[in-house]
Structure 1
Amino acid sequence: MKTNAVKINYWLLLLIVFGGFLVFGFSENVKGPAIPRMQDDFSLNETQLGMLLAFNSLGYLVACSFTGAMAGKFGIKRTGIVAFASMAVSGVLMYVSANYVQLSASYFLMYIGNGMLEIGLAIMAARIFVKNTGAMMNLAHFFYGLSSAVAPIIAASMMGWRPMGGELGWRGMYLIMLSLSLLPIIPSLLAKFPGDGGEEHGERLTLKIVGKDPAAWLIVLVLSMGVVSELAVGGWLVNYLEKAYDWSTGAASRMLSIFFVFFMAARLFLGPLTDKIGYTLSIILLSAFSGLCSFAAILIGEPGAILFAVAGVGIAPIYPTVMAILAKRYPRGTETAITFTVTLMGIACVIGNLLIGVIIDGVQKLFGAGKAAKESLTLGLQAGYGFIALMALLCSVSCIYLYFYLRRRNELV
């Protein structure tokens, strides 16, 4: 009977983690089709729209500041339930928002919930996946990639629905999609979470102790560079293909979709490889592969554009594999280590994405004199995307340092 109860509890935990990543992916990526309609409904200028989107990073960083401590004090079960519930509430507030201020407040709350959920799910996964950690972390993040890939398509379709004669629109779409956050609460109420039953996970480890560990800073470097490269593809690939190669929006978007297909397949199938050859070595090889693919795509030109998508194979496992490293290196303080790492990564991502835009403009102005507008723009875009590829290579280089640091101390994972 006890064995059956343990199995049932494990399946409930899997349902929460996998379902949580599905919901997370949907909530993060339905905004693409919705934002133009929000802008029209509230007559927002570009600055107001930019501020609205800035709540993404701000809410995320605010959530990073307290989620780990909240999980340590109140338990990851309650923390997860609060995260799911706050996202559902934000959907209701978004539905009834009457002006820009109310919309901004509801958006901010949504990203607080998103940030809590990202860290909360990482902590849950670290506690649950004690065996085959790399494979299971990658599998969990596969569900995020799956929902991320289909979210824009589903959102665009839903906004055109006409229940009871009226168009559902972006308000109804957000209400329905964010209401899905309530579903993982059901198994959360039934399940027992490791570390919430009197085990003092994380209380022996403080941010000060983590900050004194050189390996922790190397892990931050590895994750930051890898994630900057990963996220930048979604923001810049379509733009690059449209402006450098004169591709249509549809053709460029299809190439981005192919990138996500490679991305999801890598998380699904390469996870076991990380357990087999080691987490640090896996990151060294995969991130180098991603960077080399992107550089090759730039150098070859339009005929090599498929290599932009193939780069997704290398960059996809970085984030979940780093989470596996944190789970193994800091087993009794995982939430503290994740808070430290992910908060600094969030700051680095903001800086990294700003740098890409600055590089594109700077190179275009610096080396574009005497060149045609199209030629100078292409040069700037190549430099900007070259920076994305460089981040992947520097992720590999940083992990080489991490590898030798850990090997000298017999602490490789």
Structure 2
Amino acid sequence: MSLQVQPKRRINRNYALQLATVFIGFIIFGFSENIKGPAIPRIQADFGIDEMQLGTLLSLNSLGYLLACSFTAFLTRKLGIKSVSLMAFGGMVISGVLIYFSKSYSLFSASYFLMYIGNGMLEIALAILGARIFVRNTGTMMNLAHFFYGLSSTVAPIIASGLMSVTLFGHTVEWREMYLIMLALAVIPMFPAFFSRFAGDETSAEHRAPLSSLIRDRGLWLIVLILSFGVVSEMSVGGWLVNFLEKAYHWNTTAASGMLSIFFLCFSLARLLLGPITDRIGFTLSLIILSGFSGICTVIAIVSGEQGAIFFALAGIGIAPIYPTVMAVIAKRYPNESDTAITFIVTMMGIGSVIGNYLIGVITDGVKRFYMADSQLGLLRGLQAGYAFIGLCAIICAFTSLLLYVFLKRKGELL
């Protein structure tokens, strides 16, 4: 009897460690991505950069993310997910130390670039692991895993702004110290990752479709477009909402960070509660409805002015399930090639993210310069135009999801 119970206990323990790696990993990912909101105005002031330079900085960091995505699947096949996860967490800790010591803009940019490489490696590793272990109720489990990203993203702006108002030994914590403290937390998930055993790396090559075969699939390219526009709309909020509210409506940092936290509260609750709905009504139909809702909320927020700012937060309900639901589509459509498909799709998405972040900065700065006679009105219109592009990306995401729905339905492969 004891010989039968012990293996089951070991399997359950390992699965618990895998879940801990995924869930805590997404918590750290949420922190590293979204503490930048309250820090960006201070970074701008410290280094004297304008909105276009800020957009360039964020797009270059997305390039680091893209670079990591391009080689992470290769490293995973060579070294295994365990080693790659430990490298990703360790890279974020190191980047926090480098950011702390960055007194020049060039060193800061390089340190931030390293952080995004760690983020890219981590996201691919977690996505591959999720695709392998969430074989049942895939939509629910993918959304639950990504809920922890939303959860940490909800509190990240508050913690970041709170830390930067704390005085220790007569010294107010600056954005550099805040990054050091928050990124040092990446040490925590290294423990369950180290003690876990990760299966799936032993899948033989003959059971995998080659990349050349995958890229001939029209559905794959539609998934690329859905994820690209969805992620630009999702990720841009963390970088631009606080900046928008502070400069367009003259909100203080606490109030603006609070609205960002409400966005991520809606975001995290959507991932917690809507996963079973995506399993029930279908992944592609869910993508159409949810991304369309997000785009409409963003348009309402911009058109209605300051009194409609709450719609910026409500947009999080629609955009939150897009990424995990796309990961569920990949896991179901490409079960044996999930690592290759995820790497290719997320890499292409990274290119879209680089372009998207850059365009937001260009649009904002271009419209602002058009109103040179009235600098304050120009800043307002520029910020509105840049943020309108974020809403447009969500609407395009809904349209491409509709195209995927029609494509899969015609082939009898609707998910």
Aligned to 1:46: 49
**C-alpha contact (below 8 Å) 2:36/2:239 kept by paired residues:** no
Output the CA distance in 1 between the equivalents of 2:317 and 2:247: 25
Which runs of no fewer than 5 residues in structure 2 stay unpaired?
none
1-10 vs 372-381, which moves further: 372-381
Contact 1:72–1:201 (CA<8 Å) still a contact in 2?
Answer: no
Question: In structure 2, what is the equivalent of residue 279 of structure 1?
Answer: 283
The AA in structure 2 aligned to 1:46 is I
Considering Cα pairs closer than 8 Å and 6+ residues apart, tell me whether 1 or 2 has the greater RCO: 2
Deviation string 1:26-63 (CA, Å, 9 cap, x unpaired) is 222334455677778xx734289857655522321210
Q: Is the 8 A contact 1:242 1:252 kept in 2?
A: yes
**Who is 1:130 aligned against?**
135
Supply the AA of the counterpart residue of 2:353.
Answer: C
2:197 is paired with a residue whose SS is coil
Paired residue secondary structure (2:199): coil
Whether contact under 8 Å (1:202, 1:335) holds in the other structure is no
In the superposition, relative to structure 1, how do residues 14 and 58 fare at CA in structure 2: closer, same or farther (>3 Å)?
same
Letter in 1 for 2:135: V
Equivalents in 1 of 2:162, 2:174: separation in Å? 10
Tell me how many residue pairs correspond in the alignment: 408
Alignment of 1:214-229 (within 5 A): 214-229=218-233
How far is 1:284 from its partner?
A: 0.5
The whole-number CA distance in structure 1 between the counterparts of 2:80 and 2:149 is 23
Over aligned residues, Cα RMSD in angstroms?
3.1
Matched AA of 1:215: G
1:395 correspondence with 2:397: yes
Q: Residue by residue, what CA displacement relative to the aligned partner does 1:87-123 show, whole Å, maximum 9, x if unpaired? A: 2233344445576555444333222211101111111
Paired position in structure 2 for 1:404: 406
2:194 match = 189
Identity of counterpart residues, as a percentage?
58
User: Which piece of structure 1 moves more, 74-83 or 48-57?
Assistant: 48-57
The answer on 1:353 being equivalent to 2:357 is: yes
- 1:160-192 CA-partner distances (Å, limit 9, x unpaired): 667788776555544443232222222122222
Aligned to 1:15: 20
Report the secondary structure of 2:47's partner residue: coil
Q: Aligned with 2:209: secondary structure?
A: coil
Tell me: CA distance 1:234–1:44, structure 2 relative to 1, closer, same or farther (3 Å): closer
Once the two structures are TM-superposed, the CA of residue 248 in structure 1 deviates from its matched residue by 4.7
Tell me the residue number matched to 2:318: 314
Q: 1:6-405 alignment to 2 at 5 Å?
A: 6-33=11-38, 44-46=47-49, 50=54, 53=58, 55-95=60-100, 102-158=107-163, 169-196=174-201, 198-200=202-204, 204-242=208-246, 244-245=248-249, 247-363=251-367, 378-405=380-407
Q: CA, structure 1 residues 289+160, in 2 after alignment: closer, same or farther (shift >3 Å)?
A: closer
Cα drift, residue 303 of structure 1: 3.6
Distance 1:96 1:230, change over 3 A: closer
Q: Name the CA shift for 1:81/1:390 in 2 (closer, same or farther; >3 Å).
A: same
| More moved, 66-75 vs 357-366 | 357-366
For residue 225 of structure 1, what is the amino acid of its counterpart? F
Q: State the one-letter code of the partner of 2:154.
A: A
Describe the superposition over 1:58-101 as per-residue Cα deviations: whole angstroms up to 9, x where unpaired: 32121011001111222112211111122223334444557655
Q: Alpha-carbon deviations, 1:293-350, whole Å to 9, x = none?
A: 2223334444433222212111111011111111111111111111111111111122
Report the TM-score when normalising by structure 2. Answer: 0.86
Code of the aligned partner of 2:80: G
| Matched letter for residue 328 of structure 1 | K
Q: 8 Å contact 1:202–1:336 — kept in the other structure?
A: no
Q: Contact (CA 8 Å) 1:195, 1:201: kept in 2 or not?
A: no
Contact 1:255–1:309 (Cα < 8 Å) also in 2: yes
1:203-246 CA-to-partner distances (Å, cap 9, x unmatched) read 72333222211111100111111111222333333444455555
C-alpha separation in 1, matches of 2:66 and 2:181: 26
Q: TM-score, normalised by structure 1?
A: 0.87
- What is the alpha-carbon distance in structure 1 between the residues aligned to residue 262 and residue 9 of structure 2? 41
Mean Cα displacement is larger for which, 377-386 or 181-190? 377-386
User: In 2, distance between residues paired with 1:398 and 1:291?
Assistant: 13
Which structure 1 residue ranges, 5 or more long, are not aligned?
none
User: Against the structure 1 CA distance between its residues 362 and 299, is the aligned structure 2 distance closer, same or farther, given a 3 Å change threshold?
Assistant: same
The CA deviation string for residues 132-158 of structure 1, in whole angstroms up to 9 with x for no partner, is: 111111111111122122223323444
- Counterpart-to-counterpart distance in 2, 1:98 and 1:374: 31
